[in-house]
């Protein structure tokens, strides 16, 4: 049953074109508060950088927003849907640092086709989406290779391609340029530029990434 408070929250989250709405988000691990009282609104086409050193809670925030980690306090909504729900997950593309979760004996192409199917795309559409990403990100060598034979940079590119599948409204990218060479970094930013309606949250401690974002939230250690 939907409560009156939830209905108010959903209306607020959808107001004024907001894709991501976060209110008083907090996450604790035992007695340690990793993130406290985080608030933000993110609209289509805007990029928000979570800026801070290792251990500041950047990945924790992204995991909360992706729905893979429960919030200790507060709320977060994706286009009016509570994070972690199927509706919110369908609107969100996620690439978490060093959390690949690929089928290592399958090729990059087979992995992307599998995850496209898991997102609800039929096989014909999934193939078209993968081919488009292959051309856009120049992934032919990565897609033909078995995942267990890919370098860290190749797996990073595969993870980013998976996040882009279906052009989700919200992109959550954890250190997206890590392990990428200069050419791959440029292809990534061009791909984000082309998705001009997507709201993007990037966790980073790289100045180059920060310079590409419109806003920042500084997370202290």
* pLDDT computed for residue 132 by the predictor: 98
- Provide the pLDDT for residue 12: 44
* CATH fold label, 4-218: Rossmann fold (3.40.50)
DSSP output for 17-42 = G-SEEEEEEEEEETTEEEEEEEEEEE
pLDDT at residue 16, rounded to an integer: 59
Grouped pLDDT means (10 residues each) for the chain, 221 residues? 40 65 97 94 97 90 96 97 96 88 96 96 97 98 96 94 97 94 96 97 92 92 70
What's the pTM value of the predicted model, to 2 decimals? Answer: 0.90
How confident is the model at residue 6, as a pLDDT? 40
Rg (CA), the chain: 17
Residue ranges of the domains in the chain? 4-218
Cβ density class 195-218: b for 16+ within 10 Å, e for less: beebbbbbbbbbeebeebbeeebe
């Amino acid at each position: 049953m939907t409560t009156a408070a939830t209905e108010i929250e959903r209306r607020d989250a959808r107001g004024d074109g907001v894709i991501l709405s976060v209110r008083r988000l907090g996450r604790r691990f035992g007695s340690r508060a990793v993130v406290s009282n985080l608030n933000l609104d993110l609209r289509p086409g805007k990029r928000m950088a979570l800026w801070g050193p290792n251990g500041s809670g950047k990945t924790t925030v992204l995991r909360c927003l992706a729905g893979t980690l429960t919030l200790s306090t507060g709320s977060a909504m994706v286009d009016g849907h509570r994070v972690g729900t199927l509706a919110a997950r369908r609107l969100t593309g996620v690439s978490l640092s060093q959390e690949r979760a690929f089928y290592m004996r399958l090729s990059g192409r087979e992995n992307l086709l599998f995850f496209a199917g898991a997102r609800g795309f039929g096989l014909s559409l999934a193939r078209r989406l993968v081919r488009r990403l292959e051309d856009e990100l120049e992934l032919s060598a990565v897609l033909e290779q078995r995942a267990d034979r890919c370098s860290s940079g190749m797996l990073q590119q595969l993870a980013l391609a998976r996040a882009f599948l279906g052009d989700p409204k919200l992109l959550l990218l954890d250190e997206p340029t890590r392990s990428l060479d200069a050419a791959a970094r440029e292809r990534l930013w061009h791909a984000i530029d082309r998705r001009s309606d997507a709201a993007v949250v990037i966790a980073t401690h790289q100045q180059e990434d920060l310079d590409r974002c419109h806003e920042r939230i500084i997370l202290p250690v």
